[in-house]
A and B are shown apart, each in its own frame.
Chain A
Amino acid sequence: MYRPRYAETLQNCALPRTLQSTHALMEALVATRGFSGSGRRVTEQPGRLPPGQYLTTDFPVLSAGPTPHVAREGWHFTLQTGSQLIKTWSWADFVRLPITTLTPDIHCVTKWSKFDTTWEGVSIDDLLADAGLEPPTAFTLAHSSEGYTTNVPVKDLTGGRGMIAITYDGKPITPDHGGPARLLVPHLYFWKSAKWVTSLEFTEHDQAGFWEERGYHMYGDPWKEQRYSGD
């Protein structure tokens, strides 16, 4: 029901310049009368901002419904294949797993980007290792406590690319930003980083989630500006 939508790009991503020029070539430049772009925020590293994004220092909240207040005591995280449970962790079990830190830039489909956000959590690699599991399929659907879902391919979660985050900026993630735990897949638009995440389901096929059923892109690469279906 909710609308978590921010995303990011890995800082070592080598694509931006190339893709920006391709983007410019694909659509003929039509300058807007009187618009110089003088209000643009100068970023120190050219090419760090994906096309159509602007830099913010705030952390806007975008959710499609009320913020659920999920207590850590009652929180569980589950890996499952279809409806079959593979492993469930309580909060106490979960925080004993190896903790990884990521400091990605994040990019929301609503156009804002935020640089150098610091998250701690358990990488999907470490979760799979703890469950003794090789990914059984190539796709996942993340589920949240209030019914939100979003699809992410396995290859975008493994190899250090995704985690279940439990802190932001050194503090527990606040409920409006998805606490106690949210998925973090920072190289995709941030709606893929599901707030209030409670399970990751391996699916046979790439199955559309909440926003993907409502006109948003199935994959959501900010560097290719895959905002909406058909982009």
Chain B
Amino acid sequence: MASVQARKLLWETATVVAIETHTPTVKSFFFRFAQPVSFIAGQHMDVRLTAPDGYEAQRSYSIASAPETTDRLELAIERLHDGEVSPFFHDVVTAGDEIELRGPIGGHFVWTVETGGPLLLVGGGSGVVPLMCILRHRAACSSRVPMALIYSARTTADLIFGDELHGLHARGDGFHFVPTITREANPPRGLRAGRIDAPLLTSTLALLPAPPRIVFVCGTNAFVETAADLLLGLGVPAPVIRTERYGG
């Protein structure tokens, strides 16, 4: 558990040093801070945009980069159709822009290699972002903590970090990547088609050498409710399951 922070989290101005397009709706924004942000895998940052008349808009975004990658901090932002902040990032922000952020925030949906495993990670859509941070932290520490990631995406083109996740899987160091594609009848590369269900969770749990110490589930509320209820039905104890719900 993270301890109580005594100090105020101050707004800091960071420079956008790169932008990467992952999918038609998701881009990563890489920020450089004067002092690197020290954080735990799974945490998020608050972003604040300010208009010339003083109006401001704030949102929270999960950190995608590993805590060990101190030269730049990556936020992966999904463009929301009726959003106010995410379309601004997608359409207006360019490298060199300065953006105000503060954080890190969150002390529950977090993991360090010292916590150990095994872990089951379940991500829907952009809910994979904090799970990617956990996996990158594991890789950066050369950890062999057993982990499996079920990642549900609409189409193959909507898989964020797909190549990197296949690469981590190919290392054969105890990480299993289990993508499932919900809106393509015949996804390529032998990817599974269909929504998450009990058989998929059962077979993925069987990839782990022991029952998971923690299950992290992240996605829309509907996705998280489905996954969490299925897990409870399979006998995973409720206190083991930690959730982060998007859509707010």
Contacts and interface: CB of A to CB of B under 8 A. Distances in A.
B108 A40 contact: no
A29 B52 CA distance: 8
Contacts of B121: none
Contacts, number: 146
Nearest to B87: A39
Contact of A68 (B58, B238, B242): B238
Chain A interface, DSSP helix/strand/loop, else mixed: loop
Contact of A37 (B53, B105, B244): B53
What are the nearest 10 A-B pairs in CB distance? Answer: A214-B107, A230-B8, A37-B51, A60-B248, A66-B228, A37-B55, A39-B84, A61-B221, A229-B5, A34-B92
A213 B238 contact: no
Interface residues of B, number: 54
A32 B49 contact: yes
Interface stretch (A88-96, A108-116, A178-186): A108-116
Given A39-B87, A52-B56, A54-B57, A60 B247 contact: yes
Interface of A: 1, 3, 24, 27, 29-37, 39-40, 51-52, 54, 56, 58, 60-68, 108, 110-112, 146-147, 176, 208, 210-215, 228-231
Interface string B2-40: 111111110101000000000000000000000000000
B197 interface: no
Contacts of A63: 243, 245
Contacts of A66: 228-229, 231-232, 238, 241, 243
Contacts of B158: none
Nearest to A208: B4
Contacts of A112: 248
B109 interface: yes
B60 interface: yes
